[in-house]
Structure 1
Amino acid sequence: MGVIDLRDRSVIELGAGTGLLGIVATLLGARVTITDRAAALEFLESNVQANLPPEIRPRAVVKELTWGKDLGNFSPGAFDFILGADIVYLEETFAELLQTLDYLCSEQTVILLSCRIRYERDHKFLKMLRGRFSVSEVHYDSSKDVHIYKAQRASRKDDF
């Protein structure tokens, strides 16, 4: 896919779990909002504190985000990048995840999602994603069976 310069870019990680992706993005110079559901926040915050040097910790903020719900706590379209690692697995969350991506995106936002495509439901999510965004596979690691997809708002130039 090439090099992505995250310095001084605004990034949000969805469904962060341990926060590894958000921590790395912060270390690479981004201003990162690392999100997950309420039950994961204490562990997530402790990982951020333990793994970021004190001088750059202010660039990483841990916030609660339940997809499709707490959206009013975030500025719509305020992020340069939306990152998600292994967050496509519960079919009952797909509509809320798409609603969240739609809310957080501007025309310039780049979404990067890494996932395994294991079941028919995973293909269903990709179809749903393609219904709202322009989607391309930018990397595939065959040794781990992990795909990385890039998504952006579909170009509106056809509307004119």
Structure 2
Amino acid sequence: MEPTMAVVMCMYLELGQVELTGKVAIELGAGTGLVGIVAALLGAKKVTITDREPALGFLAANVKENIPPDQLGAVEVSELTWGQGLERYPTGGFDIVLGADIVYLEDTFPSLLQTMEHLSSESSVVLLACKIRYERDTNFLSMLKQRFTVHEVHYDKERDIHIYKAVKLPARRDL
């Protein structure tokens, strides 16, 4: 993971554009866990910080090191491989879904989208920090726009990092 994207996401969260106080958040593909840790420190009442199994030990140590003891109960480190074992997470159970530098492997796009859809409700906010480097990045945004309303909410020109806010489209009520 490129820490710069996580840093830009954290700076965006610190601007207070997204209400975190009392919210239930999840970070996908957390790497260091920085974004989830900052979300907890900024007032989210429950934060689930996820990554694949090999990253969990480092992630748990980072959380323990950076979250005050009285807030540790609000942060959970959890194994999540996109598209797998989603039943362990409540459907539409998160107010905020966070991802920094998780859009890069084209093979994972369908399972990443499936995971984002599962975790979010129509009132959830999905925030993604990414660089638009290749056609595949644009392709992912196109896929995302089929299921979510997507807006660019921040652009860090110096680092060429975009932050997108996505909100799930209402389920189609086909007659």
2:30 is aligned to 16
Partner deviation per Cα, 1:50-90 (whole Å, 9 max, x = no partner) = 01110001110000000000201100001000000010000
Residue of structure 1 in register with 2:53 after alignment = 38
Deviation at 1:3, TM superposition (A): 2.5
Q: Deviations over 1:94-147 (max 9, x none)?
A: 000000011111110110000000011000100000011111111111100000
User: Of 102, 106, 117, which aligns to 1:91?
Assistant: 106
- Output the CA distance in 2 between the equivalents of 1:4 and 1:132: 21
* Distance in 2 between residues matched to 1:50 and 1:127, nearest whole Å: 38
Which runs of no fewer than 5 residues in structure 1 stay unpaired?
A: none
| Separation of aligned partners in 1, 2:86 and 2:172 | 28
Deviation for aligned residue 1:157? 9.0
Contact 1:64 1:70 in 2 (8 A): no
Cα distance in structure 2, aligned partners of 1:49 and 1:19: 11
Aligned partner letter, 1:12: I
- Aligned pairs (5 A) from 1:98-109: 98-109=113-124
SS where residue 22 of structure 1 aligns? helix
Q: CA-to-partner distance for each residue in 1:13-60, whole Å, 9 max, x for gaps? A: 000000000000000111100000001000000000001110001110
Within 5 Å, give how 1:1-160 maps onto structure 2: 3-30=17-44, 31-155=46-170
TM-score, normalised on structure 1? Answer: 0.95
Q: Shift of residue 154 of structure 1?
A: 1.7
Unaligned runs of 5+ in 2: 1-11
- Regions of 4+ moved over 6 Å: 157-160
For 1:18, give the aligned amino acid. Answer: T
How far apart, in 1, do the equivalents of 2:37 and 2:149 lie?
27
Aligned to 2:6: none
User: Please, what TM-score do these two structures have when normalized by structure 2?
Assistant: 0.87
State the superposition RMSD in angstroms. Answer: 1.7
How many residue pairs get matched?
A: 160
Amino acid at match of 2:64: Q
SS at match of 1:126: helix
